[in-house]
């Protein structure tokens, strides 16, 4: 998981959400709860995976751990070179596209990503399920809420999560919304 200080996260201390925003905001909020910082769970807002943070030191010390060291040469733009195997006719078509093969491939990938709402729903289901398992796995209605999540039944999902603590219910609903609409 690639993290930087702008990664969107949500922090829970027990049943209560104490921060939602960038990783920088989360670190600041956790450090302000110094006596309880060990009990905090930090969730990535996209995947709902728990992020394990090394919170030793001040906020600026923790923030420096997420700042890549400056190196001479061109800046890193997040471009990852990988091998692509295509037929000669595919390479010929790509070579004719404005901007070349890289631009054309990026446009094709972005268009496909936007068109694939089912993938977004699956991602939302996985994230909501992961969060619910971590924070509500032993709560009443958990299993039925999971069934409703995977069935896309918003009314039943909301009904089953109604008795959960408000912050847990609201975050689970926020994660699940793309799968429930």
The encoded tokens of residue 172 equal: 């689970």
Per-residue pLDDT tens digits for 69-102: 677 766 666 667 778 888 889 888 988 999 888 8
Instruction: For strands 16-22 and 8-13, give the pairing.
Output: antiparallel
In whole angstroms, what is the distance from residue 107 CA to residue 37 CA? 43
Q: Find tokens 């040469």 and name the residue.
A: 73
State percent of the chain over pLDDT 90: 49
Strand partners, 12: 17, 41
> What is the reported pTM?
0.73
Mean pLDDT (the chain, rounded): 88
The encoded tokens of residue 58 equal: 């001040």
State percent of the chain over pLDDT 70: 88
Per-residue pLDDT tens digits for 141-178: 999 999 999 999 999 999 999 999 999 999 999 999 99
User: Residue 67 contacts by C-beta under 8 Å, 6 or more apart in sequence?
Assistant: 5
pLDDT for the residue 3: 72
């Amino acid at each position: 998981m690639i993290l930087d200080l702008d990664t969107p996260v949500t922090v829970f201390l027990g049943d209560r959400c104490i921060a939602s925003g960038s990783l920088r905001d989360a670190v600041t909020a956790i450090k302000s709860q110094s006596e309880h910082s060990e009990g905090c769970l930090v969730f990535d807002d996209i995947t709902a995976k728990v992020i394990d943070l090394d919170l030793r030191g001040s906020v600026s010390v923790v923030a420096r751990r997420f700042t890549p060291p400056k190196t001479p040469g061109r800046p890193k733009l997040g471009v990852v070179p990988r091998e692509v195997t295509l037929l000669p006719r595919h390479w010929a078509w790509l070579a004719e596209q404005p901007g070349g093969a890289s631009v054309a491939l990026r446009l094709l990938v972005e268009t496909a990503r936007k068109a694939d709402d089912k993938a977004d729903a699956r991602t939302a289901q996985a994230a909501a399920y992961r969060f619910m398992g971590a924070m509500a796995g032993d709560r009443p209605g958990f299993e039925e809420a999971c069934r409703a999540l995977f069935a896309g039944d918003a009314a039943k999902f909301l009904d089953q999560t109604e008795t959960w603590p408000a912050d847990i219910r609201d975050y689970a609903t926020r994660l699940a919304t793309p799968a429930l609409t």
